Amino acid sequence: MNLAYLMNTYPITSTTFIRREIEALERRGLSVKRYAVRHWDGDLVDPADIAEQSRTDYLLTGNTTGLIAGLFREIAVNPGGLIKALGPWLSLMKNARGGFVRHCAYLLEAINFRQRAAAGKIDHVHVHFLTNSTAVAMLARVMGGPSYSVTVHGPDELTDAPLLSFPEKIKHASFIAAITHYCKSQLIRFSSIENEKKIEIVHCALELGGFAQGGSMNTENQTFVCVGRLCPQKGQAQIPAAVAALRDEFPDLKVILIGDGESHGDVEAAIARHNVGGMIEITGWMVNTQVREILAANRALLLPSYAEGLPVVIMEALALGKPVISTYIAGIPELVDEGCGWIIPAGSQGSLIKAMRAALIASPEVLAQKGAEGRTRIERDHDVDKEAAKLYALIEEAARKSL
């Protein structure tokens, strides 16, 4: 079977989990062709992501002439399919409350993708995120292209659900993979209870061979690590005030912020305002192996998020045997509780300080116990080969039914 993956922007620093999933499917014997709408404008730092970029074909980036030529070719060879796509296309635009030019681009991309899929004898396409890349896959399918399925994550796509035509995209899909039960509940909420049987739980996952347990568990290490895009959803701007509240009690307390993004300036301003510049370091993006080394060498992961799906970095910390401090939102409570860390209400400064203090005074034995429980949960529910086996079976059935 020939499988395609279609993403919006790929690869980027925060989607290594997609690359791991593709590689796990390839280990099962699938031939996987990578497609994306556009090339990422940022700088990739991980060699594996850089290599992945060279294997990805782009529908929009550098292909304006190809998109226009593809339209005329489709009019000539598949006018019926193009006419069938006009109704769903208009529905997408209506639900989005406009965006004519943007939706014209989706249609041209769908035409181009259908033609490429036909030339490459693609049997099925899998998409991540129920956004514009799914619109492209859906329109291509209506025009006679391959069947498609989608993995849905959140939080952004769930926040924008009323504008993203969830019912239409789910209707035309072979199946939907939700990464958590919370995500599944929101998909039903924004479509119909009739879709419950069409939505399967397939977790994001790790290659556990690269996550050996170990690292510092001694009382001298008082460093937390926070990994992720610096953005309002992740709540990093809340950290400096918590560090300031704890510095007299824990003078060796430090926080390493790995990542970058639109909140960089806000976080730096909060650091200056609370005079904790010597206690908080912003590193920017790092190679995945470096992130693992830093997580493994320090006390715990700190992620005071306000909006999430289920962060892969939580899985990475637990796989390394490190406890996690995070919040009661979305799918996080399905993985994190007091057994493997500390879970708190989002936005509660007092709760964040309390949890950080609890982690700082915890004995090495308590930290090791929480870390071991976290590792057990990851081995059970977030092993990439186990989850890829689920996805493979669903894709195989979908391709068979579409014949």
Tell me the pLDDT band of 218, cut-offs 50, 70 and 90: low
pLDDT in tens, 134-185: 999 999 999 999 999 999 998 989 999 999 999 999 999 999 999 999 999 9
Average confidence (pLDDT) over 367-381: 96
In this predicted model, what pLDDT tens digit does every residue of 32-51 receive, in sequence order?
A: 999 999 999 888 888 999 99
Record the tokens describing residue 45, joined without a space: 């730092």
Give the torsion sign (CA, 365, 369, 371, 375).
positive
Tokens (6 digits) for 63: 């292909």
pTM of the shown model:
0.91
Distance CA 170, CA 192 (A): 10
Band of residue 15 on the pLDDT scale cut at 50, 70, 90: confident
Domains delineated in the chain: 2-205+383-402 (3.40.50.2000), 208-381 (3.40.50.2000)
Residue 263 phi, psi dihedral angles, 5° rounding: -95, 10
Collapsed DSSP state (helix, strand, coil) of residue 73: helix
Helix axes 47-54, 16-27, angle to 10 degrees: 70
- Residue 239's pLDDT band, with cuts at 50, 70 and 90, is very high
CB atoms within 10 A of CB 236: 28
Taking the C-alpha atoms of residue 155 and residue 98, their distance in angstroms, rounded to an integer, is: 22
- SS3 label, residue 79: helix
Averaged pLDDT, 286-299 = 93
* pLDDT tens-digit map of 331-365: 999 999 999 999 999 999 999 999 999 999 999 99
